[in-house]
């Protein structure tokens, strides 16, 4: 991750219950050496006091476009020019709409129009507000204008509902900021070992689990968090690739610069892969795709009957996406993953040969320290005439090492 030391970050807090998490984000940023200044909207002050954010940031909070004292020192134009990055967090539906349509009647909206600094938006709102067509149109306008959209996550919400719209946690936002500055640094500094290694390459990657419906409320799935695949997508983008990420159901934020396609089932994932594979130079099958799905999906919730102690659900095999990709003509350089619980090396080598791929990356998911949902991993990569083991490291660091290996193997295959 990039160093945040001496970075200048302007945090804009808008009205939403998730505003109570912003002091933790400011504290984490300052622990990393970042200078943070805070702007609050009128709505934000209904949820958290300016004094709190002043205490954790070490600077007075700005909240008035026409504050004479602010204009005498650092007015809105100077504040807009000061920042290396502006982060709107939490970004309410109203804030997103105002930003999308170019309002300039308060300090928040004027700053965002008067700056040439990158702007990241961290949505937080009720699930129905997030999914509303108007909100989605506004988000697409922001993306088209070059704004970064970080989140939202899925989960329980303050209103008591569950779904997409929950703000990313401060630790996740910090990771997004570090990734952003890492990518920015790579554009303006001497290349690192992996920087530019995939320049000009089109890379398609799958990540996360799939969900196979049983009925409208139940499904078959697995414990994959998607962390490894998302880390690989971020590392590939940092190495110069144009990355498309086909993601199963997970709450991770989309890596900066990566095109994301959300899917649910294995058949959904295969359709998305088929749509994009024609342009791919490299394919990485990192998703934990369910091997089987129910033959029939009940239209209504399946109810247990009195005295019924057993239920039989007939399953049918799902498409083998990785093998299908490797069988295309021409086929991209194909990389697979083998998540095993025992006899890892033998299973991985057999899978490498059976699927006709160029590289396979194996790990032991029976170890909770490096298995599903963990932040660290330990893997061994195998190819036809060689192998390489990687020591335990964070999935972000490991992703950089694996992308370096993949780029080397890919270049040798051309």
How many Å apart are CA 140 and CA 15, to the nearest integer? 21
DSSP, collapsed to helix, strand or coil, labels residue 292 as strand
112 catalytically annotated = no
| Residue 65 tokens, joined | 């476009």
DSSP, collapsed to helix, strand or coil, labels residue 365 as coil
Annotated active-site residue in 159, 201, 250, 286: 159
How many Å apart are CA 351 and CA 380, to the nearest integer? 14
Q: List, in order, residues 6 or more apart from 159 with CB less than 8 Å away.
A: 126
Contact (CB, 8 A) for 287 and 296: no
β 8-13/35-40 pair status: parallel
How many Å apart are CA 186 and CA 191, to the nearest integer? 6
Contact (CB, 8 A) for 344 and 337: no
| Residue 403 tokens, joined | 């992308």
Cβ neighbours around 169 below 10 Å, total: 18
Whole-Å CA distances, 81 to 65, 84, 116: 15, 8, 7
How many Å apart are CA 284 and CA 92, to the nearest integer? 35
Burial degree of 253 (CB within 10 A; 0-12, 13-18, 19+): buried
| Catalytic residue annotation | 159
């Amino acid at each position: 991750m990039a160093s945040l030391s001496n970075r200048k970050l302007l945090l804009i807090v808008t009205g939403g219950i998730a505003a109570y998490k912003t002091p933790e984000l400011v504290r984490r940023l300052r622990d990393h050496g970042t200078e943070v200044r805070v702007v609050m909207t009128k709505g934000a002050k209904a949820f958290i006091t300016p004094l709190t954010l002043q205490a954790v940031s070490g600077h007075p909070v700005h909240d008035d476009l026409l504050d004479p004292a602010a204009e005498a020192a650092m007015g809105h134009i100077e504040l807009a020019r000061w920042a290396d990055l502006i982060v709107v967090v939490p970004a309410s539906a109203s804030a997103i709409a105002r930003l999308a349509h170019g309002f300039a009647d308060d300090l928040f909206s004027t700053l965002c129009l008067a700056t040439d600094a990158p702007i990241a938006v961290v949505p937080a709102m009720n699930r129905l507000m997030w999914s509303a067509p108007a909100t989605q149109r506004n988000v697409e306008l922001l993306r088209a204008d070059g704004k970064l959209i970080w989140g939202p996550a899925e989960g329980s919400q303050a209103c008591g509902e569950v779904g997409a719209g929950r703000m990313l946690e401060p630790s996740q936002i910090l990771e997004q900021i570090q990734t952003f500055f890492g990518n920015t640094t790579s554009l303006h500094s001497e290349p690192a070992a992996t920087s530019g290694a995939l320049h000009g390459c089109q890379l398609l990657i799958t990540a996360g689990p799939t969900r196979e419906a049983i009925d409208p409320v139940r499904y078959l799935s697995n414990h994959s968090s998607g962390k490894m695949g998302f880390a690989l997508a971020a590392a590939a983008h940092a190495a110069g690739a144009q990355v498309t990420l086909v993601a199963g159901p997970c709450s991770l934020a989309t890596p900066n610069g990566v095109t994301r396609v959300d899917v649910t089932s294995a058949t959904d994932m295969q359709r998305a892969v088929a749509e994009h594979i024609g342009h791919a130079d490299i394919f990485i099958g990192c998703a934990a795709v369910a091997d089987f799905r129910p033959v029939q999906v009940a239209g209504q919730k399946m109810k247990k009957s009195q005295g019924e102690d057993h239920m039989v659900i007939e399953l049918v095999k799902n498409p083998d996406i990785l093998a299908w990709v490797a069988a295309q003509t021409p086929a991209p350089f194909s990389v697979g993953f083998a998540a095993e619980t025992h006899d890892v090396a033998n299973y991985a080598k057999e899978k490498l040969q059976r699927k006709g791929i160029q590289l396979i990356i194996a790990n032991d998911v029976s170890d909770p320290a490096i298995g599903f949902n963990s932040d660290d991993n330990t893997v061994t990569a195998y190819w036809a005439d060689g192998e390489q083991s990687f020591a335990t490291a964070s999935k972000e660091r490991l992703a950089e090492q694996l992308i370096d290996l993949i780029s080397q193997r890919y270049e040798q295959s051309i």
